[in-house]
Structure 1
Amino acid sequence: MREVPGGSTTPFLIGRAMTGGYGGADILNGCTIAVEKGEIAVIVGPNGAGKSTAMKAVFGMLRLREGSVWLAGEDISRLQPQERVAKGMAFVPQTENVFTSMTVEENLEMGAFLRRDDFRPTMEQVYALFPILKQKRRQAAGELSGGQRQQVAFGRALMTEPSVLLLDEPTAGVSPIVMDELFDRIIDVARTGVTVLMVEQNARQALEIANRGYVLVQGANRFTGTGAELLANPEVRSTFLGG
């Protein structure tokens, strides 16, 4: 926890009491999403609950009508997404998250566009995390499977050396085996001290690896707790996890 003006404390990353939407309608209705450094936080909930909108608000892709976003004790609410990248955020959207005509290696190099140091050691770390990418580094990303594309997008985000990694539905459309592998890699990344916030449709599996979870309904917090607490909650299980 870090001190903020007024003597209170705030988590490493927090979107506090976020309210906003697109046009005249609010999709978020006072929801709060927080995660500490090196933790994994998961946002789950029914379709239309505002999960991805909450993540986009944290990244600055949605202007809030009310609420604020803090990173490492700093109010970043007014910063544009590219400015938040410079502060250490990396965002992996659910779709259209690779440059299909570019090779795997070129995609990774694009992730390092803001860096002025030698990024080759980071690329080797990405290849160690996702060995298949090293094998296919000269291949166009558009020729890869859906799961491999997700690994490219994940790896490109890591090339920025982020302190916060935002993942929007990272396992959408992949096989159960690839899903398990991606979750394992997310755990590996968090263990290095990177803060991970993700929206995930495979709620039960995501909560199993989460330090904390948020169930959103109609853009507001319905349940909040550790992953284990939410998995053990009968109402969460029956309503949101299929029993």
Structure 2
Amino acid sequence: MSEPFLIGDAMTGGYGRGADILHGCTIAVERGQIAVIVGPNGAGKSTAMKAVFGMLDLRQGAVRLDGEDITALTPQARVAKGMGFVPQTHNIFTSMSVEENLEMGAFLRQDDFRGTMEQVYDLFPILREKRHQAAGELSGGQRQQVAVGRSLMTKPKVLMLDEPTAGVSPIVMDELFDRIIEVARTGISILMVEQNARQALEIADKGYVLVQGANAFTGTGQDLLADDDVRRSFLGG
């Protein structure tokens, strides 16, 4: 069996010298697939994502990307390796225009990035329309599109999204999920933490239910949606 494209393998760790939040947690995503991390508040979902991105030190376990051990790399070095991360909040430059935000996403690139910007505008047409507007003036859903678009400007192999639909309307949530599916179809792996568990599992190739920093259930999105224990405990019946 070949290893998943990205894996945080048996991760144990926390922030600084504090107590461990993750306890042997494993999260993985295949190339061009969508993996979703769900679970109750305080389950360690965002912490697991940050651990994969190198934002906290692991006491045990490893992170590997395309077979390479990247456990010791900084987040910046992981971006250079092809990982993009969109935090839940403070994920855009509010005083800059939409286009300037996208240009900031290309800061590591030495090549001509205008083609990538066109791809982002094709994916999010509203951003093309508002490209000269200050990003801080946009709606919540449009800001999230800017944040995702800026991360796509790095030409990532893996796009990590922390609660991408937090605070947006159900219509905007559906639209964002549709765009996420489109991104995955281009061959980019998607790893995301999501509070809207049922909707997220519907689009997930793989789902991870975390409880107290450990894997409680793992399976395809459809398997987890059909699991009575998962439905009763985490999806409201």
Same-fold status (TM-score > 0.5): yes
**Of the candidates 93, 99, 108, which is equivalent to residue 105 of structure 1?**
99
The match for 1:40 among 9, 22, 34 is: 34
1-structure distance, mates of 2:10, 2:159: 21
Q: How far, CA to CA, are the matches of 2:18 and 2:145 in structure 1? A: 37
Which of 83, 86, 90 aligns to 1:92? It is: 86
Letter in 2 for 1:80: T
Q: Aligned residues: percent identity?
A: 81
Normalised to the residue count of structure 1, the TM-score between the two structures is 0.96
**In 2, distance between residues paired with 1:217 and 1:70?**
23
Query: Is 1:166 the equivalent of 2:167?
Result: no
- Aligned: 1:17 with 2:17: no
The aligned amino acid for 2:4 is P
Give me the whole-angstrom Cα distance separating, in 2, the residues matched to 1:38 and 1:237. 27
Amino acid across the alignment from 1:110: M
C-alpha deviations, 1:102-129, integer Å up to 9, x for none? Answer: 0000000000000011100100000000
Partner of 1:145: 139
Using structure 2 for the length normalisation, give the TM-score.
0.99
Moved over 6 A (4+): none
Q: How many residues align?
A: 236
Structure 2 residues not aligned, in runs of 5+: none
Q: CA deviation at 1:24?
A: 2.6
Q: Could you tell me which residue of structure 1 aligns to residue 76 of structure 2?
A: 82
Corresponding residue for residue 4 of structure 1: none
Residue of structure 2 equivalent to 1:67: 61
SS of 1:94's equivalent in the other structure is coil
- 1:135 corresponding residue in structure 2: 129
Q: CA deviation at 1:10?
A: 1.6
1:188 aligns with 2:188: no
2:122 aligned with 1:123, yes or no? no
Using the alignment, how far apart are the partners of 1:132 and 1:208 within structure 2?
A: 25
